[in-house]
Amino acid sequence: MKTTPKRRVEHTPPSRKLRGYSFDPSLSAKMETAFINERIFSIPWEELNPGPVGEYVEVIDVDPASGCFYEPVDLSHPHLLAQDGLPASAANPQFHQQMVYAVVMTTIKNFERAIGRPVLWSDRTIGDMGKSYRAMTTEDWEATYVQRLAVYPHALREANAYYSPSKKALLFGYFPASEMGDPAVYPGGIVFGCLSHDIIAHETAHAILDGIHPRFMEVTQPDGLAFHEAFADIVAMFQHFTFLEVVRHQIAKTRGDMGMNNLMGELAQEFGRATGNHGSLRSALGQVDKATGKWQRKTPDPSRYQTEMEPHDRGAILVSAVFDAFVSIYESRIADLRRIASGGTGVLVEGELHPDLVNRLADEAVKSAQHVLTMCIRALDYCPPVDIDFGDYLRALITADRDVMLHDTRGYRLAFIDAFRQHGIYPRKLRSLSEESLTWDRAHEINKYEKLAQLGEVLQGFYKDLSVDKDRKTRWKNTRRQRAALHEHLRSKFWDEFSDAKLQEITGLDFSITRASRGEDVVRFEVHAMWPVQRQRLDGSVLNQVIFTILQHKPMEGPRSQEIWGGCTFIVDLGHENPEQAIRYVIRKPLYYKDPKGSRIERAQNWAKDPAMMSLASTYGMDAGEEPFAMLHAEH
């Protein structure tokens, strides 16, 4: 009897494997690091067109300086699928395309794991489209959606790489290494920014942060640009710890001491050495003394936060604080292993560590780093929507972690508080640095207002619509529609409560900012962002929330034409047993925020008048409102 064979069901692979550098090509030229520098990136599978071009990213390999257009790599070709992509090569443009795609997608994967939703790029601005707000049609609004981030591996013939908010693109440069640079880099050899894991991850983090908090670009105080730089460095640095074989190598080299000079705390080694730094571009641990050529460990200096104003140098304070917190967490996790391996003394004997101990220490380092990176990314949802400073970020870190893990059994939050304190980073207007003081509060006060306390019920429907698993553009469209609906709800049903002076003080919203509408003055505000959040707590319970931000702005007097923005972030808990107590946190940044150093407007005006700050703004292209990162990321 003849039988018909069953039709084979084809299964989509869960991941795509691509070869690339753990750091950059320079480490492959050293016997000590060559075998750990080439790795296989494992990224979520997606259908790709040559470029590669996928759902999130479009690699466009045009070299304007030479007039070249390099043939796009086809990562779906069977020959490349069979060998995990092209082999690492500093001379092959198609490998350069593969490398940028692999690292960008790895960074996106880490963000989505932490925030629990798809990454969206920031919208094109109305000004870019040459139309006024009121002239925009539905089709115009949809044209503001940015599906893919453009990535140009060879865009610049200079020692630079940056994220362009206007182009929605990452642009990487290439340049000849200095003849007087570090001997670890071939003098006069071409250095490609698109082959550095750290540079690619750093620029991708800028783009993702801009998609989550576009108004962080509105800089009115020194921490603004510094936070962008620091956060991007934190992401790039802690992604090192996803490379287990690298971690094991460095654990063995340092005998488990992550506070010693090691690759994990260094950023952009080849770029730094090729430009004459005699070491990596930046480091969270220490630096090479140019006079002696010896590496020196950094020690926390609280005075630096009061004096450092250049964005990279100021951002380095935050990076060092976060890395110091990581080292404390790691040391706490391995204390028992040290005792076991040392017979109770805690002091390891001289010589190489046993491979089993190296593996266990590496496992703890990876876990600690993953927790720290997740905390740093997740904290973005708990930040004020504008004008963030380092103290705000500490409060966001503590609040976000308490939301999913009430009891800090391993002391993670204490490690962050202590590290920030040692670096002189303090939030304003607090009585202490206890967890309770640092956690955002005021929700109990706003829930006293009957109508606003009912927001949880209103947002239930929004949550269901926004959290349904749909493609990114549909989610974007639904979010825009629900933002408009929430704006109308607030204006027509709840806004009368905001006439209460106490509520205005709690939220930081200003009732004097109005616009004329149909013969009457209407309070001007915007629902700037809105997204659903689902987080699983340590006890297994699930936290369902909607986060939305309300923004306002007004012109600011001063030598530079500038507006100042204010507003607040609402975090609403949809699973609260009492729906009328659903508002969990109100994270505000009022226009008229006052502290011993003056109001926000006064501080912003003083900052704008300061000659050093005006020079900084001019240097980094902030006056023109164009490409704030272009000069910021040039060799400096």
Alpha carbon dihedral 459, 463, 464, 468, in 10-degree steps, equals 160
Query: For residues 616 and 621, what is the distance between their CA atoms, to the nearest angstrom?
Result: 9
Two tokens, residue 466: 């926004």
Segment among 132-136, 260-264, 385-389 with least mean pLDDT: 132-136
Two tokens, residue 152: 């140009």
Contact call for residues 552 and 528 (beta carbons, < 8 A): no
Count of other CB atoms within 10 angstroms of residue 438? 24
| Residue reference for tokens 């964005």 | 311
pLDDT score of 498: 60
Query: For residues 197 and 404, what is the distance between their CA atoms, to the nearest angstrom?
Result: 31
Instruction: Give SS3 for 245.
Output: helix
Higher pLDDT, residue 346 or 368: 368
Two tokens, residue 104: 């960008």
Query: For residues 411 and 397, what is the distance between their CA atoms, to the nearest angstrom?
Result: 13
Q: Is the pLDDT of residue 112 over 70?
A: yes
Query: For residues 51 and 244, what is the distance between their CA atoms, to the nearest angstrom?
Result: 29
Interstrand relation of 286-288 and 598-599 (parallel, antiparallel or unpaired): unpaired
Segment among 93-107, 173-187, 265-279 with least mean pLDDT: 265-279
Higher pLDDT, residue 358 or 632: 358
Two tokens, residue 85: 């992509």
Is pTM, for the whole model, over 0.85?
Answer: yes
Taking only the tens place, the pLDDT of each residue in 164-217 is 998 999 999 998 887 665 666 777 788 899 999 999 999 999 999 999 999 888
Q: Is the pLDDT of residue 620 over 50?
A: no
Q: Identity (one letter) of the amino acid at 70?
A: Y
Query: For residues 627 and 161, what is the distance between their CA atoms, to the nearest angstrom?
Result: 12
pLDDT score of 622: 47
Q: Is the pLDDT of residue 4 over 90?
A: no
Two tokens, residue 173: 């440069």
Eight-state DSSP code of residue 602:
H
Is the Cα dihedral 625, 629, 630, 633 positive or negative?
positive
CATH of 16-212, one of 3.30.70, 3.40.50, 1.10.3470, 3.10.170: 3.10.170
Task: Label residue 557 by pLDDT band (50, 70, 90).
Answer: low
Q: Domain locations in the chain?
A: 16-212, 223-428, 441-595, 597-636
Segment among 256-260, 296-300, 328-332, 359-363 with least mean pLDDT: 296-300
Higher pLDDT, residue 570 or 283: 570
Higher pLDDT, residue 333 or 220: 333
Give the bridge partners for 41, in sequence order: 18
Give CA angle at 123 (536, 556), nearest 5°: 100
Eight-state DSSP code of residue 490:
I
Higher pLDDT, residue 244 or 554: 244
The CA–CA distances, whole Å, from 143 to 121, 124, 233, 481, 504 equal 13, 8, 32, 15, 35
Contact call for residues 425 and 318 (beta carbons, < 8 A): yes
Query: For residues 105 and 116, what is the distance between their CA atoms, to the nearest angstrom?
Result: 16
Task: Label residue 555 by pLDDT band (50, 70, 90).
Answer: confident
Q: Is the peptide bond before 52 cis (omega within 30 degrees of 0)?
A: yes
Contact call for residues 26 and 7 (beta carbons, < 8 A): no
Q: Is the pLDDT of residue 275 over 70?
A: no
Interstrand relation of 594-595 and 583-589 (parallel, antiparallel or unpaired): unpaired
In this structure, what are the phi and psi dihedrals at residue 575, rounded to the nearest 5 degrees?
-100, 10
Higher pLDDT, residue 593 or 32: 32
Eight-state DSSP code of residue 222:
T
Give the bridge partners for 149, in sequence order: 57
Count of other CB atoms within 10 angstroms of residue 92? 15
| Residue reference for tokens 């490690």 | 415
Interstrand relation of 169-176 and 149-156 (parallel, antiparallel or unpaired): parallel
Instruction: Give SS3 for 264.
Output: helix
Instruction: Give SS3 for 568.
Output: strand
Query: For residues 175 and 238, what is the distance between their CA atoms, to the nearest angstrom?
Result: 27
Average pLDDT (215-244) is 89
Q: At what angle do helices 197-212 and 93-115 cross, to 10 degrees?
A: 40
Q: Is 282 exposed, middle or buried (0-12, 13-18, 19+ CB in 10 A)?
A: buried
Give the bridge partners for 191, in sequence order: 175
The CA–CA distances, whole Å, from 158 to 63, 176, 425 equal 12, 8, 35
Instruction: Give SS3 for 21.
Output: strand
Is the Cα dihedral 610, 587, 531, 536 positive or negative?
positive
Give CA angle at 217 (211, 223), nearest 5°: 120
Eight-state DSSP code of residue 91:
S
Closest by CA to 20, choosing from 242, 322, 235, is 242
In this structure, what are the phi and psi dihedrals at residue 624, rounded to the nearest 5 degrees?
-80, -10
Q: Is 509 exposed, middle or buried (0-12, 13-18, 19+ CB in 10 A)?
A: buried
- Mean pLDDT, all residues of the chain: 83
Q: At what angle do helices 355-378 and 390-404 cross, to 10 degrees?
A: 110
Query: For residues 322 and 37, what is the distance between their CA atoms, to the nearest angstrom?
Result: 25
At the second CATH level, the architecture of 223-428 is: Orthogonal Bundle (1.10)
Q: Is the pLDDT of residue 529 over 80?
A: yes
Find the length of the chain.
636
Two tokens, residue 48: 């790709």
Eight-state DSSP code of residue 256:
T
pLDDT score of 358: 93
The CA–CA distances, whole Å, from 417 to 142, 302, 335, 364 equal 43, 14, 20, 21
Task: Label residue 238 by pLDDT band (50, 70, 90).
Answer: very high
Per-residue H/E/C for 29-82:
HCCCCHHHHEEEEEEECCCCECECECCCEEECCEECCCCEECCCECCCCHHHHH
Instruction: State what percent of residues in the chain have pLDDT above 90.
Output: 40
Average pLDDT (50-68) is 93
